[in-house]
Amino acid sequence: MLNFHFCTRRFGISSLMYLFEESIIERYQRLQQKPEDTFGLPWTFKGESEKPANFRYACDQMIIRNEISVPKLVTGFYHDFEKVLKAIGNNALNEVEDLLNPSLYKHLERTLGTLKQSGKRVELHKTKDFPDESGRPTVNVIDAVLYRGLSVNRAENPPLESFHVASDVDLGIFCYTHKDLSDRFAYVNQARMEELHAKNRMTIIQCLAWIKSPWMLKVFDDKGEVSQYPSDYSYVQQWIFESQCVQPPWMKREDKLESYLEWMTKFKPDKWAISGMNDYFDPLTKYSEDFTKSSSNPNYQE
């Protein structure tokens, strides 16, 4: 059984498959780092480190098959990044609700409300000290993976213990298969099984991107700025973008002869949304509260 446990976390990771790729020592060192005081904002005042661009094989094939322009893709990510920051700075978060995962939206709304109640406000500033003289931002997708069997609407996904989970680190694929699909007695309810088979075909693409820009969120109270950026601030923030992919009508039925890799990469990304900002990430599914407290829980704690 895979030991999955996701939560809001210190997000100094370099891949979406970090649970499989981090060594025990690397994970220990990351978790021992002193949390950064961000006033509750999913923002780093220190900045993330720059990392090379990387699309795992499955996502790379999806991009190629659907003739998606990577420059156009990352430009879209940056435009959404700017829109969200400007909405935060203008205290107009409702204007970008459609760009954010519902949980992330509520987290930001709650954080901004708490700051306001404590006499603080958030402002967006564009620095003149941006290291790139051209002033041009940089966006790199440093990891991209595919998920099968889940919806971007977290409320529609059963708890994690309901699934058999398989993954391939090199290909960049997570497959979530509901356990009832392998239970012959479950087929007594044919309508429900047809629904589960339909959900089993659902495909999501998730991209982890670092964004280097001149934009800086700053926190103020009535005495002045209370947030602090170090002199070596990297200007890099790390966000997650995801999309529920659309199955082309010309694709073969589920009783396909092709491999899952070939089949999944024919899906096409649809509307993109932001599901993670630096140290905040809303998992697609997680263990239920009852399972977490049960003896069956693998007790993977972060």
pLDDT at 2 over 80: no
Please give the Cα distance from 59 to 78 (Å, whole number): 20
**pLDDT at residue 254 in the model:** 55
Residue 121 bridge partners (DSSP) = 220
- Cα–Cα distance list, 198 to 165, 178, 202, 262 (Å): 17, 11, 7, 18
Confidence tier at 250 by pLDDT (50, 70, 90): confident
pTM (2 d.p.): 0.87
Q: b/e per residue, 165-180, with b = 16+ CB within 10 A?
A: eebbeebbbbbbbbeb
Query: Exposed/middle/buried for 130, CB within 10 Å: 0-12, 13-18, 19+?
Result: middle
Could you report the per-residue pLDDT of 38-81, keeping only the tens digit for each?
Answer: 999 999 999 998 888 888 999 999 999 999 999 999 999 999 99
> Between residues 256 and 141, which one has the greater pLDDT?
141
pLDDT at 190 over 80: no
- Residue appearing with tokens 């589920």: 254
Mean per-residue pLDDT of the chain = 85
Residue 235 contacts residue 43 (beta carbons within 8 Å): no
Q: Tokens standing for 281?
A: 């990430």
